Structure 1
């Protein structure tokens, strides 16, 4: 198992991002889905937890056969998907699989567990998951939405925080060292555990998956800021309606 903690800051408040997160996930999933590939929503329903209180449960199938590298396609079937189950008790969320249901349609020894907390700070909360006693030392990686590189195929100049300026909020563009002097500012803390217990492939696959997750986190948080003028006036009820609309449209594309 390979465990890393990612910290991604944005020039938003956690209260604003409650809407922005839902909007961004829905729009991004719709954009990235096409016939036979993309994100299929299976369930999206209210959920009550005795510890975390009211929240939202979602179950999705992420179809990604053509997005695998050639060495991975050689050992997977033509139709390949990962089942994602998430519990959103904002500002705390969990993404995981539930045993004994395998998270992966083909490889039952594969799983990803992501624990997320959102706070109004610049990423300076240490051991926010109280994981040191359980996990020991693990890598902490700060991701900069403005200056860290993303794969060229995902680059859009209109979504580049170095050049984007919000007409409605007056925020941006982001300059070098922006995390130290920008207000408001929030941080997404993500503790990501990847497990792929297949002899001969474990290290390579776990490292590859963390690279994919890193890219997804960077792209998603860049888009959340770049699309802020599209969602900043929405209420929670309005963005939930948008989410439902996008889910129907996205499922029809698959």
Structure 2
């Protein structure tokens, strides 16, 4: 198992980001979905934990088959999808990912949000995460993969019309107010002999790219969600959820009967418990060193 702690700062407060995060996830899921591909929301409802109190539970299926290389699609079944389970007790969340095709593959993300610039070394317990396993993600200056870059989301040039925040210049994490940090403890597990370290290292490289792109969007879309209430953003979330499900299901319905037969049931099995632990104790993760993976072509965050 390979574990890393990511720290992503943003020019927002924790209360503001609660709205921005819900808006960003809904809009991003809708943009990335098309006929038969993308994110299908299975469950989105209130949930209460004995330990964390009231929150929101969501379960999604992320269909990726056509986004994979041709040589990979040749041996992966068409029912291939990633299941995302999320328990949102804001400002604390747990998210787990499992794969329908690879049962030994799992990702667990534990997140805490705080109003600081990433200076809390003990956010996940009394024992700090080793420095070598801490990764600071700079939404303004880190290089971003070519497919994720959009000029309108370049935070070195972006300025919010509603708040006047931005652009994010050199040393912005030390000078910007307000500022918050999204602390994410990410554990990737792929227990297959001969592939474990390489796959887990590859997963973390991709997770970092996704975190960078998502948090950039939350800030770059600020003028779209700033001023919305929690009720407003929940209505927006529900509306886009329905539209996204329609996009994903438009071509998938024809194969549902085959999928149900292969999965063993025509009904979705609802299990809201975490698959790694009960959430009542601190996880003890053993880190491993992964092999270097050839990086994808990247673009500077703000090309000259």
1:179 aligns with 2:170: no
Change (3 A) 1:35 1:8: same
1:139 corresponds in structure 2 to 133
Q: TM-score, normalised by structure 1?
A: 0.93
Q: 1:121 to 1:15 in 2, by over 3 A?
A: same
Q: Deviation per CA, 1:23-78, whole angstroms, max 9, x where unpaired?
A: 00000000011122211100000001112111000000011123345675565334
Q: 1:248 maps to which residue?
A: 242
Q: Is 1:109 aligned to 2:121, yes or no? A: no
- TM-superposition CA deviations, 1:149-188 (whole Å, max 9, x none): 1111111100110111000000001101100000000000
TM-score, normalization: structure 2? 0.78
Structure 2 residue 201 is the aligned partner of structure 1 residue 203: no
How many angstroms does 1:201 deviate by?
A: 1.7
Aligned partner of 1:216 in structure 2 is 210
Q: Is 1:119 the counterpart of 2:114 in the alignment?
A: yes
Q: Deviations over 1:88-142 (max 9, x none)?
A: 0000000126xxxxx2111111100000000000000012111748x87760000
Larger radius of gyration: 2
Q: Which residue of the partner structure matches residue 100 of structure 1? A: none
CA contact (8 A) 1:5 1:138 kept: no
Correspondence for 2:27: 27
Could you tell me which residue of structure 1 aligns to residue 224 of structure 2? 230
2-side partners of 1:131 and 1:6: how far apart?
Answer: 17
Instruction: Choose which of 168, 172, 177 in structure 1 pairs with 2:162.
Output: 168
The root-mean-square deviation of aligned C-alpha atoms, in Å, is 1.7
| Equivalence for 1:51 | 51
* Partner Cα distance (1:137, 1:119) in 2: 19
